[in-house]
C-alpha cells in the first residue's frame, strides 16, 4: 500500500512507520491521521509483524503538533467531532493494538505528537527531544487524550504544570518524570528501538497481547483490571504458546513460540 504522508518498512518482524512531512515538522493533519490508522491496522493483521515502531522523518521532529491551519475556523461541533474521530481512529486505536508499539521520539513531540507518543505502549527518546502540550497557548486543551494519558504517566501535579504552562521539557527531564523509558543519541535511537524489539520478539506474542489487554484494563472506567488479568492469565493455559514455553523451560532450551 502506498501513502502520501508516511513511510512503512518491514524488516525482521518489525514494522517501522515514519511520519514523513518534514517541511511541516511532521504535523498531523486529517490525511496523515487516516494513513497512520491504515498503516497500524495493516501491521496489526500482518502475521509477519510482531513489533511496531513509529517515528518522524528528519532530525527536527517526531511530530511537532497538529496542523492548526486545518481547524482554525472550526465550530464547537466540528471541534468536538475532530477530537472524537481522532481518538477513535488513531490514538485509542494504537493504545489498544495487540502488538507492542514503541514510539521513537526524535526531536519535537508537541501537542498531538506527544499524544501519539503517549498512546504507544512505551517511548524511547533522542537526547535532543522536546516534549510538551502547548494547546492552552492557542486557547485550546489537548484533545487527543493528552489530559488523560499524561497524568497516568507522570502524575497529576506534573501533568497540570506541563499543560497549564504550555512549556516543553527536555528528554532527560522526561526520563526523570517517567514519560520516556530511555534516552539515547539521535543516531542510536532506531537501533536501540530495534534492540528492544528484538528482546520482545524472543517472547510469546500471544502472551504479550494478553498483557497489553490486562494493563490497559486498569485505565478503563467501569472495568476491573484484576478480573481482566485473571481471565487473561487463565486463557493463557489454553494456548500453544504456553505449552511450548513451559516445555522449553523444562527441557532447558529456547522456546520457539508458534504464535497465533
Active site (catalytic) residues? 115, 135
* Rounded Cα gap, residues 31 and 13, in angstroms: 27
Amino acid at each position: 500500500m502506498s501513502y502520501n504522508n508516511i513511510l512503512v518498512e518491514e524488516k525482521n518482524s518489525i514494522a517501522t512507520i515514519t511520519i514523513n512531512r518534514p517541511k511541516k515538522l511532521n504535523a498531523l493533519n486529517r490525511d496523515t491521521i487516516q494513513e497512520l490508522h491504515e498503516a497500524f491496522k495493516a501491521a496489526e493483521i500482518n502475521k509477519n509483524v510482531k513489533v511496531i515502531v513509529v517515528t518522524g522523518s528528519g532530525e527536527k521532529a517526531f511530530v511537532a503538533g497538529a496542523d492548526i491551519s486545518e481547524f482554525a475556523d472550526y465550530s464547537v461541533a466540528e471541534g468536538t467531532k475532530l477530537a472524537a474521530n481522532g481518538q477513535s481512529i488513531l490514538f485509542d486505536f494504537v493504545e489498544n493494538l495487540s502488538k507492542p508499539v514503541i514510539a521513537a521520539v526524535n526531536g519535537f513531540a508537541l501537542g498531538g505528537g506527544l499524544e501519539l507518543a503517549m498512546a504507544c505502549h512505551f517511548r524511547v527518546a533522542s537526547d535532543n527531544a522536546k516534549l510538551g502540550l502547548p494547546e492552552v497557548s492557542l486557547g485550546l486543551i489537548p484533545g487527543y487524550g493528552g489530559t488523560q494519558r499524561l497524568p497516568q504517566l507522570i502524575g497529576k501535579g506534573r501533568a497540570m504544570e506541563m499543560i497549564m504552562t504550555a512549556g516543553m521539557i527536555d528528554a532527560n527531564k522526561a526520563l526523570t518524570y517517567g514519560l520516556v523509558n530511555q534516552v539515547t543519541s539521535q543516531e542510536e535511537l532506531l537501533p536501540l528501538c530495534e534492540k528492544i524489539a528484538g528482546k520482545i520478539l524472543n517472547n510469546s506474542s500471544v502472551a504479550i497481547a494478553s498483557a497489553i489487554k490486562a494493563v490497559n484494563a486498569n485505565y478503563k472506567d467501569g472495568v476491573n483490571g484484576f478480573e481482566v488479568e485473571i481471565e487473561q492469565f487463565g486463557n493463557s493455559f489454553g494456548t500453544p504458546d504456553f505449552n511450548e514455553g513451559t516445555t522449553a523451560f523444562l527441557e532447558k532450551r529456547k522456546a520457539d513460540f508458534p504464535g497465533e
